[in-house]
Amino acid sequence: MKNFTKMTAGLALGLWGSMAHAADDLTLQLKWVTQAQFGGYYVALDKGFYEEEGLNVTIKPGGPDIAPVQVLLGGGADVMVDWLPSALAAREKGAPIVNIAQPFAKSGLMLTCLKEHGINKPEDFPGHTLGTWFFGNEIPLLSWMGKLGYATDGSDGGVTIQKINFNVDPLLQKQVECATTMTYNEYWQVIDAGLMPDDLVVFKYEDEGISTLEDGLYTTEENLADAEMQDKLVRFVRASMKGWKYAEAHSDEAAEIVLENDQTGAQTEKHQKRMMGEIAKLTAGSNGALDEAAFKRSADITMEGGMITKAPEGAWTHEITDKALN
């Protein structure tokens, strides 16, 4: 009886210990499909960085029919990846979302033009059609045209802004003379279609002073007010940045990890390795803390583009990164 009591107590203690050390669940909603753009998170998962922080992280891919902010507000995720303009627009409309970390230090957005159309500098834009994605992605381009003094409705002396899907078909089929592309994705789709770099003229938004912050991490004000959730977010950001730094230093391996997590089988090794190499240039120099000057520039551009009507307040915090980095 004495031995049975001891055994029972031991089992109970062991069960309590395993429960006490059970990993905390946390779900991340991506902005787009599984690809190297999100390599740091998949690396952190694969290398056990989240596990080391006591987290059981689920990564949800995005897609054309998935709105990350809706998933976050609906309780389907604890954190989401989004671009700042769309996040600020959602916040102004009542979504209580806050930027808690900014792994991407630079923008990968650019405007790619076919050289045959005679567009070699911004002064050559008038009279041409520029294709761009919408859902907030059009804001930097609209702001840029505004600064240049060009109307965007096709009137004399201006340009025509045309909505395009997330591919380069309109550019290749010459429905537009220029199209928005990412340094790590659509630009290479143009190259893979048979064009050479010399056939193109590229305007990087970073160089033009119209870039806005991309791929930040956002959560809700409610999550930030919860001590237990805040602790999880600190651990998540710390592990995620460890994943991003590993991905920067081992881009080919990171791309292979992404491919292993691609359930669709749509991605190719060549494209993902190339993408990861380009992504590493955008995360380089970032420790995850949001740069206030970059935030202000992004917010100003978003306001100039008409997506928000006033300067945002409470849209970001260093509280999570301060704890994660110390």
pLDDT of residue 69: 96
320 close to 101: Cβ distance less than 8 angstroms? yes
Half-sphere exposure of 8 (CA within 13 A, CB side): 5
Extract the tokens encoding 1. Answer: 């009886």
pLDDT of residue 21: 64
Domains and CATH numbers, the chain: 23-106+213-325 (3.40.190.10), 109-208 (3.40.190.10)
Strands 55-60 and 200-204, how do they pair?
A: unpaired
pLDDT of residue 17: 44
Mean pLDDT of the residues in the chain:
92
Residue given tokens 């997590």 in the structure block? 261
For the cut 90, the answer to whether the pLDDT of residue 206 exceeds it is: yes
* Dihedral sign from CA coordinates of 102, 105, 111, 112: negative
User: What whole-number distance in Å separates Cα of residue 12 and Cα of residue 195?
Assistant: 67
Question: For 243-296, what is each residue's pLDDT tens digit?
Answer: 999 999 999 999 999 999 999 988 999 999 999 999 999 999 999 999 999 999
The band of 147, judged by pLDDT with boundaries at 50, 70 and 90, is confident
214 to each of 9, 110, 324, how far by Cα in Å? 53, 13, 21
Question: For 60-115, what is each residue's pLDDT tens digit?
Answer: 999 888 999 999 999 999 999 999 999 999 999 999 999 999 999 999 999 999 99
For the cut 80, the answer to whether the pLDDT of residue 14 exceeds it is: no
Its pTM surpasses 0.95: no
Question: For 184-195, what is each residue's pLDDT tens digit?
Answer: 999 999 999 999
Which among 295, 297, 289 has a CA at the least distance from the CA of 320?
Answer: 289
For the cut 60, the answer to whether the pLDDT of residue 3 exceeds it is: no
User: Looking only at Cα atoms, what is the longest distance across the chain?
Assistant: 96
Angle between helices 269-283 and 227-249 (to 10 degrees): 110
The band of 15, judged by pLDDT with boundaries at 50, 70 and 90, is very low
For 269, residues 6+ apart whose C-beta sits below 8 A from its C-beta are: 255, 256, 259
For the cut 60, the answer to whether the pLDDT of residue 6 exceeds it is: no
Question: For 288-321, what is each residue's pLDDT tens digit?
Answer: 999 999 999 999 999 988 889 999 999 999 999 9
96 close to 69: Cβ distance less than 8 angstroms? no
